[in-house]
Amino acid sequence: MTGTNAPLHCDDIHFTSDRSLSLCEMQYLLEKACCYCQNRLSRVKLPKKQSAIRGAQMTDNESGARGGLGTIRNASRLLELLAQGPAFHHLTELAQESGMSVPTVHRLLRSLTIAKLVSQDPTTARYGLGPELTRLSNHFVSRHPVATAFAPFAVSLRNQLNATVSIHILVDGEVVCIDQIDADDRGAFRSPGTTQPVTRSAPGRVLLSHAPADHWSRVIEEDPQISDTDRDVWARADYIHVPSQDMVHPAQVAVPIRDASGMVVAALCADVESAAEAAQIDRTGAALARTAMTCGRTIIHA
């Protein structure tokens, strides 16, 4: 590449472009020029007005979440938003709900899409949860010590109660089913995986009543119908029975599963008929309690 004999001068750099530059010389020139510009810019102080404008363009979430941990926190926030509402979300909606700028959200979603933690619909360009989450969750469940301890008792308990039995854990204020075995007379149709408010299900009440105080405080703030008295009643009960509230969620009976140290690590639940009598509910609760005690003895770390 030939120049026009105009010198390029950057402090200690001085090339007179009267000849073709080799590739090494061009690379050296660019590196020195970049260093020169960075040094000059580092000494430039923006006027207060420009500094204020620059700060205003950065959202609260971005200004307080810089660096590796901030990036992970923002990515987790986007995954949480994608798990709510419809299956796919628009980019601008995610930016508005997360409080981050559109370029930041787009950059995070692109990285998550490459990792298959997020998927993008080719037709609408909307974003949803990716298949990699399913693979990771299956590995998590298959290795969970509570599910492993319950596995030898699952079929016999289902046959004894002639009911669907399941195991639930509490994750960030939400009840998650990690294992379930359906009753023989479940019917031709199964309800899809659904979630309920933690206080509206029997396993949720079991787990919440034994959860740390900060979990309980958050629930009281979100559900004014619940009080500290409810927590005491649920914690002392041998089992918790919650009647059916709709066609999707059947009536349930649940008991706590304690590990070898006595800590509640999960809830064992069984469906019961909506018109079940008190004696049948008592028998279900007693059978669940015996199984929970037996399998809990083998749980060391959950």
Instruction: Quick: pLDDT tens for 35-64.
Output: 554 555 455 454 444 444 344 444 545 544
Residue 169: pLDDT over 70? yes
**pLDDT value of position 190:** 57
How many domains, in total, are found in the chain?
Answer: 3
Residues 282 and 156 in one domain: yes
Q: Does 301 fall in a domain?
A: no
**CB atoms near residue 151 (< 10 Å):** 13
Q: Does 126 fall in a domain?
A: yes
Rg (CA), the chain: 29
pTM check: above 0.85: no
**CB atoms near residue 200 (< 10 Å):** 13
Residues 217 and 243 in one domain: yes
What SS3 state is found at 181? strand
Instruction: Tell me the residue range of the domain where 16 lies.
Output: 7-42
Residue 188: pLDDT over 70? no
Residue 98: pLDDT over 60? yes
CATH code at position 211: 3.30.450.40
Mean predicted confidence (pLDDT) in 247-269 = 92
Beta bridge partners of 127: 89, 120
Q: How many helices (H) and strands (E) does the chain have?
A: 12, 9
Q: Which of 140, 72, 141 lies closest to 112 in space, CA to CA?
A: 72
**pLDDT value of position 24:** 53
Residues 163 and 196 in one domain: yes
**pLDDT value of position 89:** 96
255 CB-near residues (< 8 Å, 6+ apart): 206, 238, 239, 240, 267, 268, 285, 288, 289, 292
Instruction: Tell me the one-letter amino acid at 144.
Output: H
Q: Dump strand ranges (E) for the chain.
A: 7-10, 13-16, 118-120, 127-129, 165-171, 174-181, 240-242, 251-258, 264-272
- C-alpha to C-alpha distance for 115 and 126, rounded to whole angstroms: 17
Q: Which of 16, 13, 5, 3 lies closest to 34 in space, CA to CA?
A: 13
Check: CB of residue 153 under 8 Å from CB of residue 294: yes
Chosen domain end from 134, 161, 184? 134
Give me the half-sphere count of Cα atoms (radius 13 Å) on the Cβ side of residue 124. 10
Residues 94 and 204 in one domain: no
Q: Which 3-state string (H, E, C) describes 3-36?
A: CCCCEEEECCEEEECCCCCCHHHHHHHHHHHHHH
**pLDDT value of position 216:** 86
Helix axis angle, 102-114 to 68-82, nearest 10°: 80
Q: Does 225 fall in a domain?
A: yes
